[in-house]
Structure 1
């Protein structure tokens, strides 16, 4: 169990960090203030501040987020007691929202008014001076200490997400899924180099087993199957399917040898049990293992594309065959799968990272409000309208998306619990 938990945290952590780093990097590049880079949700377990950003690890390892200025502001409001800290120029450099004992170097006030975006000031009544309101200038880089102790930097208007150009906002929104695709490509390419080969999807013959129909017909490693009974063969899987449908039936194989010669062979697949009581045909060959450098480099791209294609087909089936929650999986399903991955060792972990990273990238690009795809859709609408959607309308749209995702996540999680732990 401990090994499974560690694998789950490792895999999920890597994928989330890489995804959020994409948003983080392009936001920084666009001049957007990134207040927090968080791994996990809920109460914070650890935090470290460097530069303008606070890096946190939170209790629930079910995702992460990059907190960009303009999306979520600190919980500062009129009537709140806060402590103000000043620099040498007598400007506020820190606003502490924690309800703790006052520091001798701070001034406690009850906030009456503030503007931390444009005019940069805060007003309030000093404790013990109930009738007099004092106004203080705030520096552009002043810090806010939230009630849970998280330190954030205030964001003048020009540092907020909405102030960035449309193209920079689109790049920032797309960067998370993009990083997931890049991670998957690297993972699968790394897997190919570690293994030393790539299983070929082409209609090539790999190892030929002794005393099998293929061996008796002098089929050799590296031979290419061009057709079977005049049916053109494009892939190894297609060949397996065609052969599997004809046990104990003589079939005409057209084969291209490694020297370029074309030969024809009559081969009768032997009948074997598929483990489910069905008889299928087999000729006794394995998938061809390509050991070339080019195949190892391109495997990251081809394998990632293959997974993308499979996911698109599944998503398309929701439109043609109806929605089925059984086709979806959440953190519980990932955790349950992590047990098998842990047993598979390094190869299994790397492959799992690639597979999940592609999945996360595709799912985040769905045009659902609150997901990256939903944000990109709003960016496109803004580009067409040549003006942004009002913050109020965007907030409502996002709230609807969050509600939908929350309900979907609960349903998927309950379904996963029933599937993996209650059945």
Structure 2
């Protein structure tokens, strides 16, 4: 597989993982009636941007995540003030556009000084025009245009904080859930593509090894060891070989439909007792029920492994080299992609599951922390001060970025050190 194909697979994988996560937030936010201002893949400067409906969709430079920016998550910043001169555009008697500058150049605008306004609850604007006060209703989806940039107003009922705890909980939880569903789907695809192992098949034979001396060939199917049927139990095969250092082991193999007897003597090779061959499997087509069961077992096993790795982080039982940032992840992903489609599918499933579990951790700035705040709000019957919550998330995000920088620096050092 060439470098362009590998790079395309890596970009596609990260795009799908992040996009689906943020789509979960976007979908349930829109179902709840929340105004989603931006749906972004990546952070940093914009590379590509377009607006559809109320939401601006953007692709940003740093492919290390994404976000769905909802009205009311941060305090709404109004770009107008009493006493300010503005230009407004009316449609059916309602203000649909409010220009804070450059309005002298635009036709068909009413220009006046703001005497009073409410763009969240009452939705009205009072302007002094030629010394007379005029009160105008404001369209709930009106735009404030400042320096050429449009910002849709967010009435209270369109803001994140105005929705019920349950609606907000679903909106936040939907991101990780989408990654869990994607992980299961990818594990299911892998189960179908990998097939069901039936017998153990020998892989590459190392030159000069006991396996080569015994005339074992790549593709030989192991039927029995010392009279014990092996089937697909690779662990038992390894156990029997390692239990016989320096002692001949009788193998019955199937080679092209013919059963052959081969006597091989395991020896110490490196740190283990081996015969010098890789092991693989003969497979058959996976049935649907087997695929579902296999995908579920794969996902539960990987979940346990991920939780164990997080436990090591919490108790401090790790070294810096145990962690990988974007550079290390991309490097390892490239190695897996070069091994074929099936390993790449399984690796993508693992990353999707990891993204879901990591985001559910109660770390400030992550979805898990926001869910904790919502649970506390439900228990105490009133929300936590939004400014305090925003400060906690900001500090958490800054700490995560510092950790990301440190891990990425370590990745780059390892890359240059080979």
> What is the TM-score of this pair, normalised by structure 2?
0.78
Offset, 1:339: 2.5
Matched, 1:140 2:134: no
Q: Hey, what does 1:206 align to over in structure 2?
A: 200
Contact kept, 8 Å, 1:270 with 1:283, in 2: the verdict is: no
Alignment equivalent of 2:382, drawn from 387, 405, 421: 387
Offset, 1:91: 2.2
Q: 1:89 to 1:191 in 2, by over 3 A?
A: same
Q: Hey, what does 2:273 align to over in structure 1?
A: 280
Alignment equivalent of 2:121, drawn from 118, 121, 132: 118
- How far apart, in 2, do the equivalents of 1:153 and 1:251 lie? 80
Contact kept, 8 Å, 1:96 with 1:145, in 2: the verdict is: yes
Q: 1:18 to 1:283 in 2, by over 3 A?
A: same
Offset, 1:186: 0.8
Q: Hey, what does 1:193 align to over in structure 2?
A: 192
Offset, 1:372: 0.4
Q: Hey, what does 2:57 align to over in structure 1?
A: 55
Q: Deviations over 1:155-197 (max 9, x none)?
A: 21112111221122111111111110111111121122234x0
User: How many residues are paired up?
Assistant: 387
Q: 1:65 to 1:290 in 2, by over 3 A?
A: same
Q: 1:118 to 1:66 in 2, by over 3 A?
A: same
Offset, 1:408: 1.4
- How far apart, in 2, do the equivalents of 1:15 and 1:407 lie? 23
Q: 1:52 to 1:245 in 2, by over 3 A?
A: same
Contact kept, 8 Å, 2:199 with 2:223, in 1: the verdict is: no
Q: Deviations over 1:353-389 (max 9, x none)?
A: 2121111111111101110010111112122222221
The answer to which of 383-392 and 373-382 deviates more is: 383-392
Contact kept, 8 Å, 2:225 with 2:237, in 1: the verdict is: no
Contact kept, 8 Å, 1:243 with 1:269, in 2: the verdict is: no
Q: 1:408 to 1:69 in 2, by over 3 A?
A: same
Please give the secondary structure, in 2, of the residue aligned with 1:344.
Answer: coil
Q: Hey, what does 2:210 align to over in structure 1?
A: none
Query: How big is the alpha-carbon RMSD for the aligned residues of Structure 1 and Structure 2?
Result: 3.8
Please give the secondary structure, in 1, of the residue aligned with 2:243.
Answer: coil
> What is the TM-score of this pair, normalised by structure 1?
0.77
Please give the secondary structure, in 1, of the residue aligned with 2:154.
Answer: coil
Q: Hey, what does 2:339 align to over in structure 1?
A: 344
The answer to which of 152-161 and 372-381 deviates more is: 152-161
Matched, 1:378 2:366: no
- How far apart, in 2, do the equivalents of 1:52 and 1:303 lie? 40
Q: 1:292 to 1:132 in 2, by over 3 A?
A: same
Q: 1:6 to 1:112 in 2, by over 3 A?
A: farther
- How far apart, in 2, do the equivalents of 1:286 and 1:111 lie? 77
Q: 1:295 to 1:30 in 2, by over 3 A?
A: same
Equivalent runs, 1:212-361 vs 2, <5 Å: 215=224, 217-220=226-229, 223=231, 236-237=234-235, 239=236, 242-243=239-240, 245-248=242-245, 270-272=265-267, 277-281=270-274, 286-287=280-281, 289=283, 291-293=285-287, 294-361=289-356
- How far apart, in 1, do the equivalents of 2:148 and 2:299 lie? 41
Please give the secondary structure, in 1, of the residue aligned with 2:137.
Answer: strand
Q: Hey, what does 1:70 align to over in structure 2?
A: 72
Q: 1:246 to 1:95 in 2, by over 3 A?
A: farther
Q: Structure 2 regions of 5+ residues with no counterpart?
A: 204-214, 250-261
Matched, 1:167 2:163: no
- How far apart, in 1, do the equivalents of 2:417 and 2:102 lie? 45
- How far apart, in 2, do the equivalents of 1:286 and 1:186 lie? 25
The answer to which of 286-295 and 372-381 deviates more is: 286-295
Contact kept, 8 Å, 1:268 with 1:283, in 2: the verdict is: no
- How far apart, in 2, do the equivalents of 1:71 and 1:117 lie? 15
Q: 1:115 to 1:333 in 2, by over 3 A?
A: farther
Offset, 1:308: 1.3
Contact kept, 8 Å, 1:5 with 1:335, in 2: the verdict is: no
- How far apart, in 1, do the equivalents of 2:9 and 2:248 lie? 47
Matched, 1:93 2:96: yes
